């Protein structure tokens, strides 16, 4: 098996590495200290086409593969895990629209997500349930004509307050339990949709993690992603992309720590005149 990167993958990685070192690393400590969402950096990543890395060219993306994506996530995480988390969440949402969306949804949402003009988020977790969400999910979407009426709340959602396109898990048929959970695309400015508190986290503070609140929020039925009851399939597909991405973030953090340690041993002088590395 040949594990070497192709020329194209090397180019993708080098481009992400240069952008991360030049634009993200210098502000990484500041955004984590202040909890500021770095819109200017997101814009630069968007200008470089990174948000469209997995989206096919007809929808405005680069049409790369998962390895291109994971290499990019790792390079961004070397500079800032917060930015990498926001990035991978949004690219993951574009991937869901591509994989499960109707033709209309793809045309409507993919170009803006691929260009980074709009960010995405996925809302699964609720105050009453995390890892066990299929058994505990309480957010309801009750059919009413050609709409669903959504009531409930989500928490710990990445890109809260910054994402325009939120994929939200809701129960469309409570009698079916986990098989009655569906995914709706809910746009940021939909009446009845608001943001609650942001978490004051220990780390990853540049990625806003917070609450989404739905109060009689009317969502067109055409915003159903996939079919009713598809939530486990959809989150499974998301996980197959986001779990390796989280590993890439961890690898990026580890690489940054190793590189900083090596740099330190070359610069630190305790017994003059030689640095530790000697």
Positions touching ligand FAD (CB under 6 A) are 89, 121-125, 130-132, 156-158, 204, 209
Q: How far is CA 101 from CA 13, 96, 122, 230, 254, in A?
A: 29, 7, 14, 12, 36
**In the complex, minimum distance from the CB of residue 270 to ligand FAD, in angstroms, rounded to a whole number:** 37
Residue closer to ligand FAD by CB (options 254, 262) is 254
Residue closer to ligand FAD by CB (options 40, 202) is 202
SS3 content of the chain, % helix, strand, coil (to 5): 50, 20, 30
Sign of the dihedral defined by the CA atoms of residues 244, 247, 252, 258, in that order:
negative
Residue closer to ligand FAD by CB (options 125, 190) is 125
Residue closer to ligand FAD by CB (options 12, 160) is 160
Residue closer to ligand FAD by CB (options 49, 134) is 134
**In the complex, minimum distance from the CB of residue 74 to ligand FAD, in angstroms, rounded to a whole number:** 18
**In the complex, minimum distance from the CB of residue 166 to ligand FAD, in angstroms, rounded to a whole number:** 10
Q: Identify whether the C-beta of residue 98 lies closer than 8 Å to the C-beta of residue 272.
A: no
**In the complex, minimum distance from the CB of residue 156 to ligand FAD, in angstroms, rounded to a whole number:** 4
CA distance 277 to 38: 36
Angle between helices 103-114 and 81-100 (to 10 degrees): 160
**In the complex, minimum distance from the CB of residue 187 to ligand FAD, in angstroms, rounded to a whole number:** 17
Cβ-proximal residue to ligand FAD, closest one: 130
Residue closer to ligand FAD by CB (options 130, 236) is 130
**In the complex, minimum distance from the CB of residue 195 to ligand FAD, in angstroms, rounded to a whole number:** 13
DSSP class per residue in 108-126 = HHHHHHHTTSS-EEEE--B
User: In this structure, how many other beta carbons lie within 10 angstroms of the beta carbon of residue 4?
Assistant: 7
Q: Identify whether the C-beta of residue 42 lies closer than 8 Å to the C-beta of residue 24.
A: no
């Amino acid at each position: 098996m040949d594990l070497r990167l192709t020329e194209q993958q090397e180019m993708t990685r080098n481009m992400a590495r240069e952008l991360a070192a030049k634009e993200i690393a210098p502000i990484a400590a500041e955004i984590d200290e202040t909890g500021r969402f770095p819109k200017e950096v997101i814009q630069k990543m968007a200008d470089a086409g990174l948000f469209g890395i997995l989206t096919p060219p007809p929808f405005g993306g680069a049409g790369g593969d998962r390895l291109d994506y994971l290499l990019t996530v790792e390079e961004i995480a070397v500079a800032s895990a917060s930015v990498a988390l926001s990035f991978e969440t949004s690219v993951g949402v574009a991937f869901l629209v591509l994989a499960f969306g109707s033709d209309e949804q793809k045309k409507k949402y993919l170009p803006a997500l691929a260009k980074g003009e709009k960010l995405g988020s996925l809302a699964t977790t609720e105050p009453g349930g995390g890892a066990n969400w299929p058994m505990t999910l309480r957010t309801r979407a009750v059919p009413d004509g050609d709409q669903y009426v959504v009531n409930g709340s989500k928490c710990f959602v990445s890109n809260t307050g910054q994402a325009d396109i939120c994929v939200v898990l809701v129960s469309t048929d409570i009698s079916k339990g986990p098989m009655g959970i569906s995914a709706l695309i809910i746009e940021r400015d939909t009446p009845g949709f608001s943001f609650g508190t942001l978490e004051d986290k220990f780390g990853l503070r540049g990625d806003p993690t917070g609450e989404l609140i739905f109060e009689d929020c009317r969502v067109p039925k055409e915003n159903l992603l996939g079919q009713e009851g598809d939530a486990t399939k959809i989150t499974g597909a998301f996980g197959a992309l986001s779990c390796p991405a989280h590993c890439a973030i961890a690898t990026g953090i580890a690489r940054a720590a190793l590189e900083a340690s090596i740099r330190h041993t070359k610069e630190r002088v305790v017994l003059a005149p030689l640095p530790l590395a000697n």
